[in-house]
Structure 1
Amino acid sequence: MPYGWTGQLLRIDLTKGAATKEPLNLEWAREYIGGRGLGTRYLYEEMDPTVDALSPENKLIFATGPLTGTYAPTGGRYMVLCKSPLTDAVACSNSGGYWGPELKFAGYDMVILEGRAPKPVYIWIENDKVEIRDAAHVWGKTTEETEDTLRAETDPSARISGIGPAGENLNRVACVINDKSRAAGRSGVGAVMGS
């Protein structure tokens, strides 16, 4: 890891159903230090600021920082970034727990979701293996029920970041929840995930 980075991001085009691995822009990583700064730079470079926040043109970025996965006091944090449906500005919401470190341990500094899936899906990441899987069976469930269901069908130690009915119904204050009770709870990032 060069200076706390894995040097790799995962880009998932939900419209095409394709996942690609790309090198992280390490110049930006050095310049903007951390998931918030780096994720914001990617948003500014890749997205038209006039897009509707709930449209497929918005991007949803899950970003870690150089301390994620370390024993530093902030080592369990990750950021969720997008255009906010609540403020029409950049949404930077963060959460703690195990999801961010596990993303880093899988070899990624960032996941960029773009486009819109034709049906509910979830992303299964297991190191180099990335799959876009059907999530119709968890649509409408609470976040806790979703975590339990997905762990039962994948791996009991899997770390899950997702939404429940608030995000599915595009509630503009919906959160992204991980580890059953940890929330990226600012700016409606859950609604963007549900859109």
Structure 2
Amino acid sequence: MKFTVMHIKLDENRIESEEIEKPGIYGIIDYGLELHENLETHSINPYDPKNVVVMGMGPFAGSVLPGAHRLIFFFRSPLYGTLFPSAMGGAAYAFKNVGVDFVTFEGRAEKPVVVLFYNDGKNVRVELHEIELEKVVKIWRGYKGEEGVYALTQYLIDTFGERFDFEYRIAVVGPASLNTNYGAIFSQALRKGKRLVGSEDWAARGGSGSVLLRAHNVVGIIFGGKSRKRNFPGEDISNFKTAKEIVEGVHKKPYNEIIAEKTTKYRFNPKLNTGGTFGGNYPAEGDFVPILNWGMPYIPKE
């Protein structure tokens, strides 16, 4: 498969793009594994600028297949020492309009930066905007009645939002990324420049935000663009009728029934009298559920 990669070299304030098509690379995980193997990141500190963060989407993004629009952040984790993919909800709905498959954050910016990359309908634009760390901390502490990642998101909407007449998304880090190994990357769906309460998404496993901030000095990412239709080789799975026939052919059930069945844990489940990921996992696994960053063996059972 052919993929487009945009390399953001933060220490050089330089952007490079390339198209790759290699045997064995079918998506962002395969690409991230090869990249980190070539860079030998197994032998460096996770907060070394060589610990490239790869951000991107899978080959089915842009289709009508449910679950195909997770945005992936791939990096070497400061928590586990291993390479780690952290997934974020449906943020690839906005990312797919940029017109690239993967973005790499390489090197370390001299000062904290907000990275903008977006498609204006003709070209992909990339901008790096410096922001003093003291100002970021002040925003985290409080901005327009919000704190932390919510405050920084609102600040970036107020600062850059009027520039965009298309769907865009903002991903930010919070104070835990500056002070711990557990920092996450947060993003909230936007509609007409307003944050949608209840639409919060997190790439929250592995310390993704800690690496993004402390290895690369990136505090926020803004991405999106004019609506773009993705071309699929062979069958056009952006066409609902085509995708429906494929899904029903595999499962031998009506499409809507399959989707409802496979997404039960994201809603209230009357069989369990609870809902959500944790609500679905805990009745089945009890204290073996890998919560609190796999710290449960050290927590008293009660």
Q: Same fold (TM over 0.5)?
A: yes
Matches within 5 A, 1:1-195: 7-23=3-19, 25-28=20-23, 31-98=24-91, 100-127=92-119, 128-136=124-132, 139-140=136-137, 141=140, 142-155=148-161, 157-169=167-179, 171-179=180-188, 181-195=200-214
Contact 1:12 1:111 in 2 (8 A): yes
Match of 2:41, SS state, is coil
Kept in 1, the 8 Å contact 2:41–2:76? The answer is no
Q: Is the 8 A contact 2:56 2:72 kept in 1?
A: yes
Q: 5+ unaligned residues in a row in structure 1: which ranges?
A: none
**TM-fit CA distance, 1:74:** 1.7
In the superposition, the TM-score normalised over structure 2's length comes to 0.57
Q: Gaps spanning 5+ residues in structure 2: where?
A: 141-147, 190-199, 215-302
Deviation at 1:168, TM superposition (A): 2.2
Question: What amino acid sits opposite 1:9 in the alignment?
Answer: V
User: Which of the two has greater helix per residue?
Assistant: 2
Larger RCO: Structure 1 or Structure 2 (Cα < 8 Å, ≥ 6 residues apart)?
1
**Does the 8 Å CA contact 2:177/2:213 hold for their aligned counterparts?**
yes
- Runs of 4 or more above 3 Å deviation: none
TM-score, scaled relative to structure 1: 0.86
What percentage of residue pairs aligned between the two structures are identical?
Answer: 24
Q: Letter of the 1:120 partner, please give it.
A: P
Aligned residues: 186
CA contact (8 A) 1:35 1:78 kept: no
Contact 2:183-2:204 within 8 A present in 1 as well:
yes
When the two chains are superposed, the root-mean-square deviation of aligned CA atoms in Å is 1.9
3-state SS of 1:44 partner: helix
Measured after TM superposition, the shift of residue 161 of structure 1 is 1.4
Q: Is the 8 A contact 1:64 1:77 kept in 2?
A: yes
Deviation at 1:33, TM superposition (A): 2.4
Distance in 1, matches of 2:35 and 2:110, equals 25
